Structures are given as C-alpha cells and as structure tokens.
Amino acid sequence: MTFPDNKFSHISEYATAYFNEVTQASATVDGEKLQQAADILTQVYSVGGQVYSCGNGGSAAIANHLVCDHCKLVQTDTDLTPRIVSLSTTVEMITAIGNDISYDEVFAYQLSSLAKPGDALMTISSSGDSPNIIRAIEVAKDVGIPVIAMSGFTGGRSAKMADVSLHVDANNYGVIEDVHQSLMHLLAQYVRQAHMGEDVIKQRKF
C-alpha cells in the first residue's frame, strides 16, 4: 500500500490522513539507534571533529539545514563546538565533479579530500539507494569514520551499510522527509540539552 491510494475531495481530509501517516512513520524509528546517533555526534563534537552531511533534492535541503541547527544551536549554552560541512551546498564542486568525473562521485570526491579519523558522515536519502550516497558511505568506510544514515521506503543499501541506520518505514516522499527533518532537529536539541544546566534549560527556547 502506498499513500495516498485514493483521491481526496477536500484538503482537510488529506491533511488529517497525511499527518496520521507522519505520526505512524515517526513511531517506526528505532529509539536505540537514535541514542547511538546522538552518542556519535556528541563524541565528534567533543573532540573537535567534523560532521559531513549530504543528500539529493529535498534531502539536500535537510543536509544543509543540519549545518544551522547542529552548528549554531548545539553550541549555544554548551561546551561543545560542532563543526558541520554539508557536501550538498558546494555547487561549484558539485558541478565540476559531476561534469568532469561523474555525478555519482559528487559527495565521495569531496569527502575523500576532507574527512579524517574523528569525523562522521550523516547521509539523508529517502530511497537509501542513491549512487552518490552509497559512494560517500564507501569513502567514509575507507577513511574509518562512522556513518549515520537516514532512509525511508525499504532502506536501500545505505541502511545496511551504515553504522547507525535511522530508517523511517513509510512510502511517501513528503512523509519520509518530514520525519527526517524532525530527526535532524531532535538530535540537535537532545545533544544540546544534555550539555546544559537544568536551570538554563528552563530559561531557553529550543
């Protein structure tokens, strides 16, 4: 079954059904895997490593948004210094690599030039099977850095290859991306609050 599998006559009915899909999809994310992802990010942020993010299309927007929330938000009121690089935002490199080598290499080439032990890679892919995402994971494995992979649908190869698979069991791109965006936000907020004093948390907006 896919969503939607029938025509709706009013947007309010569609909205109710859609948000119900988001609720069900978010409940499929493994809480222990989320904790593992938070632990990896905390470790990297604590030692001054870099977190690299990447994705295509809507997932690229989430990868880029991650830079803001995980760099600016996480270090506010904490002793952490997150360093985040989105491999999806470097249009000059992406177009040069895509034109001269292959679009499959647009993330892998950048990662091989930048990544070092102590860093981490976070991939965002609804299918979990985009060739350039898989190539980035392969490079991360070669460098020896952990991979956190967000995926949807059946999870694809990235769910199997990642050190931590944050899989969203859903079959609608919008629903999957909405949950991925929420995972990006909640990881940032959880890591931040974990390094704040109780009294400070009460005074801040998240």
- The chain-wide mean pLDDT, for the chain, equals 97
- Residue 1 pLDDT > 80, yes or no? no
> Domains of the chain: which residue ranges?
32-197
Direct distance between the N- and C-terminal alpha carbons of the chain, in angstroms, rounded to an integer: 36
Computed over its alpha carbons, how large is the radius of gyration of the chain? 17
Percent above pLDDT 70 for the chain:
100
For residue 15, give every residue at least 6 positions away whose Cβ sits within 8 Å of its Cβ, in sequence order, or none: none
CB 78 within 8 Å of CB 192: yes
- Tell me the pLDDT band of 40, cut-offs 50, 70 and 90: very high
Res. 134: pLDDT tops 90: yes
Instruction: State the CATH architecture for 32-197.
Output: 3-Layer(aba) Sandwich (3.40)
Beta-bridge mates of residue 121: 52, 147
| Number of helices (H), then strands (E), in the chain | 10, 5
| pLDDT average, residue stretch 52-67 | 98
